[in-house]
Amino acid sequence: MTATHVPGLPVIEDGQLISTNPATGEEAGRVPVADEKAVTAAVEQAREAAVWWQSRGWEGRKVRLLRWRTLLVERIEELAELARSESGKPINDGIVEVTAAVEHLDWAARNARRVLGPRRMRTRLLLAEHVGHLEYQPYGVVGVIGPWNYPIVTPIGPISGALAAGNAIVFKPSEYTPVVGQWLADSFAEIVPEQPVLRAVHGLGDVGGALCRSGVGKVSFTGSTATGKKVMAACAENLVPVVIEAGGKDALIVDADADVPAAAEAAVWGAMTNAGQTCIGIERVYAVEPVYDRFVQAVVEKAGKLRTGEEIGPITMPRQLEIIRDHIEDALARGGRAVLGGAEAVRAPYVAPTVLVDVPDDSSEIREETFGPTLTITRVRDAEEAIRKANDTPYGLGGSVFGKRDAVRIARRLRAGMVAVNGTLTFVGMGNLPFGGVGESGFGRIHGEDGLREFARPKAITVRRARSLLPAMTFERTPAQVRQIVKALRLLYGRRR
């Protein structure tokens, strides 16, 4: 039966978490709410499942992960439709999200053995009679806490790395998108029915807190910076390591030799896709003087064609509407101008595309994560000023540069974990590139080789193969042998270059 609720607001009724469509208030689905005991029990069961999962070996895990990948592709429309009904995301945005998730799953499955598998290490002088072995062992159970804005790809990033590394997972989806989270766990269980290798537990923030304290070996958190700090504090109680993928205030720089129409098109996509509810969404643009006017005009033209309820979905979390309105009003009150949209663009549950210029640097629209389809464009003298302003934020997630001659040099100087040159957000689609930020955007990486290593502990083993010729690490060494060691050291490392 379909009940109607306050659009977008999840409700708990009779031990069930009911999630709703933010555009219509229709029920999207319901899942059971876990308490602390249930979370601990899920982690205990996952611990046993992890032993079974590890014993499948690299090949056994790869085959099953690739089957899961194929299932996601087969049901891509179903999953995108579920994401739409729960978060309001337009179907095509959901399809793109599943596409990126599939890429990460495929890459992690195919590369885990190469990146994490056992290898021999070359011996060094002082221990020449030993051989070194390095391997990466799984943590056991990894807790994954996810946000609502990309309920498919944000958890699949750490889930695919952690599963490929040999861990079992207990996953706490956002209270706004629990049904998509449950769908992911259920679809995995279709491929791996033997053991609860990937389990979902549901509820509000306290369930995430319980997961941090439940004895998991590692926590991967994706969400806001404020909650990330709480997660870290909860994990610190038991010295549980964490990956924090938090918010951002990403900037795009348009240099003098940029392809202006292409930069405008990418800026509009980067800022407005998913109604701007994107951690790596473009929120600020710094355009150099010679291209500024043309760029603003092209952005306004392109963004003005986007329709709320079509390309621009609803704002998923109702209280975010207040934040978006506050930021726009603050920008206007401090002397900024709306060249498209404005405060009146906020009409629950939608926000129409809004482009602001002349916004002062101390405005919240420039300093804080807005998470809506708004974009500021600031005129700068040159790329130097653009870099300085782009970096003047406590966040450091992603960024973008449009230009030719100096674009990559500028990209290197942006204080961010990832930068797209002549594109926006593109780094999230490459399975072999690490994803993560600096500063208030968090630390640790998902995706790529770094994202696999994040979910395994390096283990070093040395094995003696012969008698020591230069025995240094023993009380049995003679003064003559110590002299030989010093001599060998001088020969090898003692010469100034």
List the catalytic residues: 245, 279
Angular region, 29: left φ>0, alpha ψ -120 to 50, beta rest: left
Could you tell me which of 246, 172, 174, 241 has the C-alpha nearest to residue 210? 172
Contacts of 455 (CB under 8 A, 6+ apart): 138, 139, 142, 158, 161, 162, 165, 167, 218, 220
- Provide, rounded to whole angstroms, the least separation between the CB of residue 45 and ligand NDP: 20
Structure tokens at 10: 């999840």
Question: Residue numbers of the site for ligand NDP (CB under 6 A)?
Answer: 145-150, 154, 172, 174-176, 204-205, 208-209, 212, 222-224, 227, 230-231, 234, 245-248, 279, 369, 397, 437, 442
Could you tell me which of 372, 317, 319, 346 has the C-alpha nearest to residue 8? 317
- Provide, rounded to whole angstroms, the least separation between the CB of residue 206 and ligand NDP: 7
- Provide, rounded to whole angstroms, the least separation between the CB of residue 176 and ligand NDP: 6
- Provide, rounded to whole angstroms, the least separation between the CB of residue 448 and ligand NDP: 14
- Provide, rounded to whole angstroms, the least separation between the CB of residue 224 and ligand NDP: 3
Strands (E), 68-165: 119-121, 130-138, 141-145
Question: Of 175 and 365, which CB lies nearer to ligand NDP in the complex structure?
Answer: 175
Structure tokens at 88: 């309001």
- Provide, rounded to whole angstroms, the least separation between the CB of residue 145 and ligand NDP: 5
Question: Of 65 and 152, which CB lies nearer to ligand NDP in the complex structure?
Answer: 152
> At what angle are helices 205-212 and 225-236 packed, to 10 degrees?
40
Question: Of 242 and 410, which CB lies nearer to ligand NDP in the complex structure?
Answer: 242
**How many of the other CB atoms lie within 10 Å of CB of 1?**
3
Query: Are the C-beta atoms of 357 and 336 separated by less than 8 Å?
Result: yes
Question: Of 201 and 331, which CB lies nearer to ligand NDP in the complex structure?
Answer: 201
Question: Of 95 and 204, which CB lies nearer to ligand NDP in the complex structure?
Answer: 204
How far apart are alpha carbons 321 and 332 in whole angstroms? 17
Could you tell me which of 267, 276, 270 has the C-alpha nearest to residue 328? 276
Residue-by-residue DSSP string for 151-215 = TTHHHHHHHHHHHHTT-EEEEE--TTSHHHHHHHHHHHHHH--SS-SEEE---SHHHHHHHHTTT
Contacts of 314 (CB under 8 A, 6+ apart): 7, 8, 22, 23, 88, 275, 349, 350
How far apart are alpha carbons 254 and 296 in whole angstroms? 11
Question: Of 50 and 207, which CB lies nearer to ligand NDP in the complex structure?
Answer: 207
Question: Of 279 and 375, which CB lies nearer to ligand NDP in the complex structure?
Answer: 279
Structure tokens at 210: 């319980």
- Provide, rounded to whole angstroms, the least separation between the CB of residue 293 and ligand NDP: 31
Question: Of 336 and 451, which CB lies nearer to ligand NDP in the complex structure?
Answer: 451
Question: Of 222 and 400, which CB lies nearer to ligand NDP in the complex structure?
Answer: 222
How far apart are alpha carbons 367 and 364 in whole angstroms? 5
**Which single residue brings its beta carbon nearest to ligand NDP?**
208
How far apart are alpha carbons 251 and 399 in whole angstroms? 5
Q: What share of the chain is helix, strand, coil (3-state, %, to 5)?
A: 45, 20, 35
Contacts of 266 (CB under 8 A, 6+ apart): 252, 400, 402, 422, 423, 424
Q: Which amino acid, one-letter code, is at 17? A: L
- Provide, rounded to whole angstroms, the least separation between the CB of residue 248 and ligand NDP: 6
- Provide, rounded to whole angstroms, the least separation between the CB of residue 192 and ligand NDP: 23
